[in-house]
Amino acid sequence: MILDGKAVSKKILDNLKVKVGNLSKQPHLVVILVGNNPASQIYVKNKKLAAENIGIKSTIIELDSQIKETELLNKIEQLNNDSDVTGILVQLPLPAHIDKNKIVTAISPKKDVDGFTPENVGRLAIGLEPYFYPATPQGIIMLLDEYNIPIEGADTVIIGRSNIVGKPMAQMLLRRNATVTICHSYTKNIESKIKTADIIISAVGKKIVRCKMVNNNSVIVDVGIFRDSNGKLTGDVDFDFVSPSVKYISPVPGGVGPMTIASLMYNASKVYDR
């Protein structure tokens, strides 16, 4: 059975549109784009469109790739103090001369719609409510919940340990009382770990989950997205061979991608007092 991220995302966004329409204060998302990376330009434009579609005010601030770190920090400080701005998102990657961690850390935790600041990450890790959960893991939980897939007590395997997906995913699954195994490039016998898991979340960016590794009850969530040697958009999972052998699987495209957008918009629709 297909985990239809596109359909679930649409449903969430429709609900958010109603919610935003009823807010006493219109949310305002500011997206900062440094330089002219073509992929980043598309992502930023899509985020702006998604926000506007559900009634969130949205501004893109385009900055020169040569901008000094201190200037960017000043810009963020100004947005932190601007009571009209409710969400700030710095599109990654940043140019090499800018310290990404310094920039992310500078965003007010109450406007950090990506959920990447140390305070929000730390709150997630110690069991406090963060102001924002990271978009991709939150979107995956929303997708599993929509299909009533049990998380409590499930054996879950996460492949990949990035700050954006793998590590926060582990925290969020733990909160829901799953048993969590985090695998990565140093993991041995990964096949047997995948084979015995109930839920497998793969976020690697290369073909890794093959038919022989899964079982009839596996739930497969494919976070990877890249172009194969024929230029076709694909994920970490060998979809054609794996999909007939498992219980649930998310496609690429149309699975985690749209859920990440819905989840980000869920965050962008939150308004905190300063």
Residues annotated catalytic, as ranges? 47, 91, 114
Smallest distance, Å, CB 177 to a second copy? Answer: 4
- Selected binder of a second copy within 32, 123, 213, 249 (CB under 8 A): 123
| Binding of residue 92 to a second copy (CB under 8 A) | no
Residues in the chain: 274
- Gap between the Cα atoms of 81 and 102, Å rounded: 18
Binders of a second copy in range 186-205 (CB under 8 A): 186-189, 193
Among 28, 29, 27, 34, CA closest to 103: 34
Q: Write down the least CB distance from residue 273 to a second copy, Å.
A: 18
101, 71 Cβ separation under 8 angstroms = no
Q: How far is the CB of 213 from a second copy (least distance, A)?
A: 15
Q: What are phi and psi of 268, to 5 degrees?
A: -65, -20
Of 142-161, binders to a second copy (CB under 8 A) are 152-153, 155, 161
Instruction: Closer to a second copy by CB, 20 or 223: give it.
Output: 223
Task: Count Cα neighbours of 257 within 13 Å in the Cβ-side half-sphere.
Answer: 13
Check binding of 136 to a second copy (CB under 8 A): no
Tell the smallest beta-carbon distance from residue 50 to a second copy (Å): 26
Least distance (Å) from a second copy to the CB of residue 70?
A: 20
Show the site string, 100-119: x = touches a second copy by CB under 8 A, - = not. Answer: -x--------------xxxx
* Region of residue 204 (phi > 0: left; psi between -120 and 50: alpha; otherwise: beta): alpha
Q: Is 177 one of the binding residues for a second copy (CB under 8 A)?
A: yes
Does 179 interact with a second copy (rule: CB under 8 A)?
yes
Q: Which two tokens stand for residue 162?
A: 């990035």
Q: Is 252 exposed, middle or buried (0-12, 13-18, 19+ CB in 10 A)?
A: buried
Among 138, 181, 218, 234, binds a second copy (CB under 8 A): 181
Torsions phi, psi for 78 (to 5 deg): -60, -45
**Tokens found for residue 221:** 């969530």
Q: How many CB atoms lie within 10 A of CB 111?
A: 25
**Candidate residues 128, 191, 212, 228; the one interacting with a second copy per rule CB under 8 A:** 128
Binding site for a second copy (CB under 8 A): 101, 116-128, 152-153, 155, 161, 163, 167, 170-171, 174, 177-184, 186-189, 193
